């Protein structure tokens, strides 16, 4: 009886799939496009039920993972796949903030998310929980790298068969970091957009659960937890400004949805949050459309070291632009050299080693400050979404060399002296 009531209340929170364009509603199956207008489908909830049942206290009494927000996520079970994903640190920045001239800067550090060190663990935990509910036994994805790591790892944990697709030219760390979980890994000779097209065909013929294709409406909701956590970690308040990276644009739009939902159900006071987005110049279809004030995306062929962001035809690009515009934010791009500088700047000032996506975001943050688009007094949150140990190629040759010495004190003293005279400027900076 208690069980039946619990199931009733939990399954009541998510209601339908609804077309973002024409509003047509569908039952909660594995489907992502509207049959009438081809618009994307999104999960809707019973917000009255959420208002009645969810409080700050019920959330705080939940697990130390994304599943503390389970009523806001599109799964019916009380027993989701919980591998400790989420509740990553929100770090108050001192040294980076000072370097940039900001007073209240926070870093949301998903470079240490579990289990695979990127924000993708959030979306995959939700997608695979839902996949299991819908009866899928094989799960799959079209990935720019991190998604493959995450899908393979969490499928292994859940005992689901897994076949993932990546562009063949990914970083070694992302390939090995997928293979270690022993999925079937298809390295496609083509870019992400070609991988994605192939996967759409496989999804139609094989009856697999593709986390970011036929399960996309459920998957993408996982990114809302990046909004919820920041609100909770700021003491149940929204920031003034957020800066986040854009590949498909999904993450960006879902942080927005997460903030709005928390306001709507009364968990945080209302506030106008400005949304700014970051892309790599070598793949910046969203930033280009934003700068040219277009309402449509012109697909591009990616050519950048920021491979995790290299989606040339981004599904949620227009929605991301809409949010940046209506919140008085901005969408900017930076080149590969600036991305490397961004990675180094975050590492040297905060002790956080991020991948190219994080380098892109930090470089855009810097650019926004320099252009006067961030007020120093604004509470600003920058989202770091992936770990630098996975994209070491990007900074190879830009980080100096170790000083090789003999195991003798005088050899050490000589090397120390040499390093100080050769590199006096750098050394002085370190001492400051």
Ligand X SMILES: *Cc1c(COP(=O)(O)O)cnc(C)c1O
The residues that touch ligand X, with contacts defined as CB under 6 A, are 118, 120, 144, 146, 245-251, 308-309, 355, 357, 385-386
Closer to ligand X by Cβ: residue 151 or 308:
308
Q: How many helices, marked H, and strands, marked E, lie in the chain?
A: 17, 13
From the centroid of its chain, how far is CA 431? 34
Q: What is the separation, in whole angstroms, between the first and last Cα of the chain? A: 65
Listed residue (182, 189, 183, 240) closest to 211, CA to CA: 183
CA separation for the pair 321, 133 (Å, rounded):
34
Q: Which two tokens stand for residue 126?
A: 């939700």
The nearest distance, CB 86 to ligand X, in angstroms, is 15
Closer to ligand X by Cβ: residue 239 or 317:
317
The nearest distance, CB 285 to ligand X, in angstroms, is 12
The nearest distance, CB 144 to ligand X, in angstroms, is 6
Closer to ligand X by Cβ: residue 50 or 119:
119
Closest residue to ligand X using C-beta atoms: 386
The nearest distance, CB 200 to ligand X, in angstroms, is 16
At 274, is the secondary structure helix, strand, or coil? strand
The nearest distance, CB 411 to ligand X, in angstroms, is 41
Query: Are residues 355 and 347 in contact, defined by beta-carbon separation less than 8 angstroms?
Result: no
Q: Which two tokens stand for residue 9?
A: 């209340």
Query: Are residues 103 and 97 in contact, defined by beta-carbon separation less than 8 angstroms?
Result: yes
Closer to ligand X by Cβ: residue 265 or 364:
364
Closer to ligand X by Cβ: residue 265 or 333:
333
Residue 242 has what DSSP assignment? Answer: E
> Torsions phi, psi of 211, nearest 5?
-55, -40
Cis previous bond, 21, omega within 30: no
The nearest distance, CB 247 to ligand X, in angstroms, is 3
Closer to ligand X by Cβ: residue 203 or 357:
357
């Amino acid at each position: 009886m208690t069980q039946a009531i619990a199931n009733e209340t939990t399954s009541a929170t998510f209601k339908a799939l609804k077309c973002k364009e024409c509003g047509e509603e569908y039952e909660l199956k594995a489907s992502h496009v509207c049959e009438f207008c081809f618009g994307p489908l999104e999960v809707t909830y019973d917000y009255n039920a959420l208002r009645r049942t969810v409080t700050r206290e019920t959330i705080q009494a939940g697990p130390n993972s994304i599943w503390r927000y389970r009523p806001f996520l599109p799964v019916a079970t009380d027993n989701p796949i919980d591998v400790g994903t989420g509740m990553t640190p929100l770090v108050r920045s001192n040294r980076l903030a000072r370097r940039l001239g900001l007073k209240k800067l926070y870093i949301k550090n998903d470079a240490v998310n579990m289990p695979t060190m990127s924000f993708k663990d959030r979306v995959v935990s939700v997608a695979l929980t839902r996949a299991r509910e819908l009866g899928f036994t094989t799960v799959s994805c079209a990935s720019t790298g991190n998604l493959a790591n995450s899908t393979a790892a969490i499928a292994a944990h859940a005992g689901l068969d897994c076949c993932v697709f990546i562009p063949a030219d990914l970083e070694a760390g992302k390939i090995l970091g997928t293979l270690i979980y022993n999925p079937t890994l298809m390295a496609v000779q083509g870019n992400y957009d070609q991988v994605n097209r192939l996967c759409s065909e496989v999804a139609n013929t094989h009856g697999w659960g593709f986390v970011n294709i036929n399960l996309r409406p459920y998957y993408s909701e996982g990114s809302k937890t990046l909004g919820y956590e920041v609100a909770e970690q700021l003491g149940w308040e929204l920031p003034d400004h957020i800066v986040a990276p854009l590949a498909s644009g999904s993450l960006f739009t879902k942080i927005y949805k997460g903030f709005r939902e928390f306001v709507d159900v009364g968990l945080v006071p209302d506030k106008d949050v400005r949304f700014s987005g970051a892309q790599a110049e070598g793949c910046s279809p969203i930033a280009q459309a934003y700068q040219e004030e277009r309402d449509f995306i012109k697909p591009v062929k990616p050519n950048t070291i920021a491979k995790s962001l290299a989606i040339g035809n981004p599904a949620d690009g227009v929605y991301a632009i809409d949010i940046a515009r209506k919140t008085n934010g901005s969408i900017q791009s930076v080149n590969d050299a600036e991305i490397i500088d961004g990675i180094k700047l975050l590492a040297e000032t905060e002790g956080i080693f991020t991948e190219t996506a994080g380098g892109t975001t930090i470089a855009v943050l810097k650019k926004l400050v320099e252009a006067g688009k961030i007020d120093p007094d604004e509470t600003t949150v920058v989202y770091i979404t992936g770990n630098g140990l996975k994209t070491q190629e990007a900074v190879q040759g830009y980080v100096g060399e170790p000083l090789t010495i003999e195991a003798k004190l005088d050899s050490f003293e000589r090397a120390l002296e040499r390093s100080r005279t050769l590199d006096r400027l750098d050394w002085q900076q370190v001492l400051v």
